[in-house]
Each structure stands twice: as C-alpha cells, then as structure tokens.
Amino acid sequence: MTSPVWHPFTQHGLNEPIPHVVRAEGATLHLADGSSLIDGISSWWVTTHGHCHPRIAAAIAHQAGQLDQLIFAGYTHEPAEAVARGLVDLMPQAPGRDPLAHVFFSDSGSTAVEVALKMALGYWHNRALDGLGEARSRILVLEHSYHGDTIGAMSIGERGVYNAAWTPLLFDVGTIPFPHPGREQETLAALEVACAEQPAAFIVEPLILGAGGMLIYPPHVLRAMADICARHDVLFIADEVMTGWGRTGTLFACEQAGVVPDIMAVAKGITGGAIPLAATLATPRIFEAHRSTDRARLFYHSSSYTANAIACAAAAENLAIWAEEDVRGRIAVLTQGITDRLAVLADHAAFANPRQIGTIMAIDLIAADAGYLSDLAPRLRAFFLERGLLLRPLGNTIYLMPPYCIDAQQLDAVFAALVAAGDYFGSAS
Ligand code: PLP
C-alpha cells in the first residue's frame, strides 16, 4: 500500500526507499527490518547529545504528567522561566555591549527567524512612533544563506529553483556577497555601503552557512561585519539555529568573534533535539521599544504552542546536561576525531575543499554533475544508505554533523563509507 505521507524536501517521483525507523539511541537508528543506521547528521542537525538521552526522555515524561500546555499570553510556568534564565546566562557577552536579556519562545528555527525580523522592524516602527527617526524595513542578508522555509525566512535566503514558485510572495532584500577567502574586503565594503542607507537589520549565519553549502568564514570577518552594523546603528541578527549548542566548538559561534548580536535566533539543539522549541533573544532596547501601554506598540506574535511546557522541560534538562555533563569534552574529542580522519580523506583524488569547524565537516566530491541540484545527491544518499549510514549531501558537498556521543568505531565506519564514495563516484562520474 502506498503511504499517504508527503515528506519534506523529498523528490517523491524518484521512488527512493523511505527507511522506516522504529527506535533510536545515541548515534544509532534501528529500522523496522531489523537493520540499523549511523545517524551522521544528527537527524537534521538537532540531536546534539544523541537520540533519546535518558535525562531528556525522563524530563519529558515527567512534565507530560504535570502541565502539558498553557496559553502563554499573560501566563507562565517554571519550565519556561528556567529556560529563559538559563539562556540569558549562556548568551555571548562582551564589554560595552548590551546583553541578550529577553527571551521570546517559538517552535522552529524558521519561526525564531521570523520573530527576529518582526522584532527588528517593530523596533524601528515603534521608535518612529516616538518621533525618533524613520521607520525602517529593509533587511540585508548574506549571499547563499538559508534561514528556513516560511515566507519571511525564504525571502532572506538564497533564491533558486527551490523557492521559485513563491517568488511573488517574497520581499526584496539587500544581498551582501559571501566573504570567500581573499574576497573578505569586498564583503565588508558592500556592507558598509548598504548600511549607510539605513536598513533595519543585517542577518547572518555566524561562521558557517549551512544549507547553502557548508561555507565557512573566519571570526574576524564576523566581527568586522558586526562592527560595521554597530557603527551605522543597523541591528545585527545572528541566526544560530544550526551553529548553536556547541556545533562550531563553542556553545554559540558568535563567542569566537566576541560578537553580541542585537537579536539572536536559536532552535534545533535547544531541547537536545527531542522535541520542537525555539527562542529569539533580544537586547533591552528592542524589548523596551515594545514595552508600552500603547496597543500600537505591542509585539503581535504568537502561536498556539508558544513555550509549550513539555518542550520547555526538555530544554531545561538540556541546559542541566550542559552544566553537569562533560559535553564540551565530548565535543573536543569528536572535533579531534574528525580532524584526524579528514586529513586522510583530504588526500583522496576524488575530493576537494576539505573543511571543518568544530563538529561540522564538509568536503566536495569532484564530479561532472556538481552543484546543489545535481543528480548526485540522491545517488550518494542511496550509496550511504546501503552502507548503513544516514547522510544527506548538498549536491556534491558531503558533510557530517554527528551527535556528540558518536564513538570512534562508528566514526571509522562513517569515514570508510566516505572513502568508498570517493572511490566509486570519483571514477564513475
Ligand atoms: N536557520 C538556519 C541557519 C538553519 O540551518 C535552519 C534549518 O536548517 C533554519 C533556520 C530553519 O530551522 P527549522 O528547520 O527548525 O525551521
């Protein structure tokens, strides 16, 4: 019987096998047919500690019997308060910079980004109501970025065949060229010019663009971009949806550049990847611009499940795990494990551009049909699936983003499959 399920980002016409997963633990997925897979991308970059961390599973079970869901407009609960306090404490800080002191909850990375954009425009709108300058609405973005699939998030992301159908709904943005090595000054000069025109905000994925091809740029460029925005009083928004929760080696990528954004979006690993939750953090001036008795200044945003108590309990437990377990130690071991193995892979003639930041590694397969939309990706997916590995290459870019608990043996198996892919596809294509 054919399934009625319509899967995301899935080319149903290809009739690719759709593995049926029944159980998971750590970096392992168990399939209905009794076989297993190594989860090489933390199930879309979310299960940071591995699947079904017992503490997070227990926290969810406990909370489900206490308080499941509460309208969050004007009501609160301890799991949300605990997460908000914990997040504020963990945010990047720098002398002379206002702290990210206010937390707005939502349910996914895309909505956290939408909220960030709405906060930015709300800030300028409300200031204009106070007679403090013009309302601003233009958003600057970094070329090749991905911020999600809702209309606003798509508007600020790379345009292409994947959002062509919705072009009439997308708003205009200013695109700043990506800081490719040797061309960083072009980026900074373009940003300087664009900021002089007083846009509302500039949004970036700090240090690495994820879905746009795992493109890495250095902390000093992130810092310089933030400084330009500060100089022109343009709000700087960091989308740490992918980079957060230790992925780049530090808890948040902005730390490596000494950058404290005006607004920051976090999601994915906020619950250790067990259940959807996201948050958008803002500095006091953004919050204060909305704190008013005037109904015109209220922050008009919510969803039914804002700050769901079960999701918040999972996030609170995730914060406790970060405080009490040696997560940073695990990240250091995994980072080194990837570095050691990547050195071997880098010598393989079929590969180019080996790159790594923390626990994220990427390499490009040299192939005739390269590029994000090449037919290579489904063939590579099938190749890895046959070898017991869940990977989802971006065109000819093969990347890893494993759970921090993946062990050395599993990592060996992952890299053996990568070498095999190089042997097979390097000569075949
Ligand atoms: N922002 C970035 C940088 C992402 O990588 C993603 C998802 O991969 C998103 C936003 C959207 O997050 P979600 O898929 O939870 O909506």
Tell how far CA 324 is from the center of its chain: 24
CA-nearest residue for atom 7, ligand 1, is 148
Mutate to test the pocket of ligand 1, among 147, 204, 209, 266 (most ligand atoms within 8 A of CB): 147
Decide if 6 is inside a domain: no
Question: What percentage of the chain has pLDDT greater than the value 90?
Answer: 95
In angstroms, the CA 362 to CA 401 distance is 9
Give the pairing of strands 174-176 and 278-282: unpaired
Ligand 1: residue of 110, 145, 158, 303 to mutate (most ligand atoms within 8 A of CB) is 110
Within 10 Å of residue 23's Cβ, how many Cβ atoms?
12
Residue 242, ligand 1, Cβ within 6 A: yes
Domain region containing 263: 67-324
CA 158 to ligand 1 centroid distance, Å: 13
Render pLDDT for 81-131 as a digit per residue (tens, 0 to 9).
999 999 999 999 999 999 999 999 999 999 999 999 999 999 999 999 999
Atom of ligand 1 at shortest distance to CA of 153? 10
- Does the residue 59 lie in any domain? no
Query: Where residue 362 sits, what CATH number does that domain have?
Result: 3.90.1150.10
**pLDDT value of residue 167:** 97
Give the ligand 1 atom nearest the CA of 109: 12
4 in any annotated domain: no
Domain end among 324, 357, 376: 324
Question: 266 and 129, same structural domain?
Answer: yes
pLDDT given for residue 150 in this prediction:
98
Same domain, 299 and 402: no
The pLDDT tens digits for 201-219 are: 999 999 999 999 999 999 9
pTM across the whole model: 0.98
Q: Is 308 in the pocket of ligand 1 (CB under 6 A)?
A: no
- 270 in ligand 1 pocket by Cβ < 6 Å? no
Domain boundary among 297, 324, 351: 324
Q: Give the model's pLDDT for residue 427.
A: 61
For ligand 1, say whether the CB of 205 is within 6 Å of any of its atoms.
yes
* Residues found in the chain: 429
- CA–CA gap between residue 243 and residue 280 (Å, rounded): 14
Q: Which two tokens mark 145?
A: 């970025």
Residue with CA closest to ligand 1 atom 2: 147
Query: Running along the chain, 429 residues long, what does each successive block of 10 average in pLDDT?
Result: 91 92 98 98 98 98 98 98 98 96 98 98 97 97 98 97 96 98 97 98 98 97 98 98 98 98 98 98 98 95 97 98 98 98 94 97 86 83 97 96 98 98 79
Question: Which of 302, 324, 346 is a domain's end point?
Answer: 324
Residue 344 domain-assigned (yes or no): yes
Q: Does 275 share its domain with 365?
A: no
